[in-house]
Amino acid sequence: MTTIAFIGLGVMGSPMAVHLARAGHRVHGFNRSPGKSAPLVAAGGHAAGSVAEAVRDADVIAVMVPDSPDVEKVLAGDGGVLAHAKTGALIIDFSTIRPDVARSLAARAAADGFRMLDAPVSGGEVGAVNAALSIMVGGERREFEAAKPILGLVGKTVVHVGPSGAGQTVKAANQLMVAAHLQALSEAVVFLEANGVDTKAALQVLGGGLAGSKVLEQKCHNVLGRSFQPGFRINLHHKDLGIVISAARQVGVVLPIGAQLAQLMAHAVAVGDGDLDHSALLRGALRMSGREVD
């Protein structure tokens, strides 16, 4: 049994923390909105009143918050992890942030006597609920080996991909590919509907061939039913594509499709679709073709 602090109990963090509690670990969760702690408490965990309280006795500290500044505040801000956790604790950052920020925070954590991994996840809310996430882990191999029993409780595919920041780099590539699949799916649906094809049947047969993908498998019901209850919000994917473009610029890589996808995602935010699931890129594809948007 390990004492785990879990900071960030949102759409992804809450089910992840619940899995850890149900596995028998002592989990102390903190979220800025206290009501988000209810599922963890129901699973046998504890709701902390602050980051400092959550991490005080923790052997492992998990973080799942939206963006780079949020992680910096949780770790290095007033009342943060580095000021209040016990020396030697293992920090696992499940958030999706800039690779350079991940490297900087890992170096600072090490200087203060902590161990740190960047371990962003892919799989969305469904993956979190089913403990079937794909986790790409950056950091020292020995820290990865120490974290594997914890990571295996929330993820199905858990891979060490390199030193600090590597996990975030792989996650950026993941978000680029997912956005491309979503946009291609959106355009295909607009094309099929405009030609009067049975779209449900068409997606079924496309899913059985080379055009099949996890995106098609998991998001076809969204586009067919025009149901965009968020599993992963456009606002967050917009942020992630900003990370892709920034990281690509730092290493001198040209990503023409990535740049266009970033603009399409930015357009979705600008027209008010930011809080919808990222499959709502379909709405933008419909607008561009002059089709009705429900």
d(CA 139, CA 151): 14
Instruction: Give me the sign of the Cα torsion angle 231, 234, 35, 13.
Output: positive
- Check: CB of residue 3 under 8 Å from CB of residue 25: yes
Picking from 189, 148, 198, the residue whose alpha carbon sits closest to that of residue 293 is 189
Which of 171, 200, 214, 239 is catalytic? The answer is 171
d(CA 155, CA 112): 29
Contact residues for 6 (Cβ-Cβ < 8 A; gap 6+): 13, 16, 17, 20, 27, 28, 29, 30, 40, 45, 54, 62, 64
Is 214 designated active site? no
Which of 249-260 are b and which e, b meaning 16 or more Cβ less than 10 Å from the residue's Cβ? eeeeeebeebee
d(CA 125, CA 123): 7
The residues annotated with a catalytic role in the active site are 171
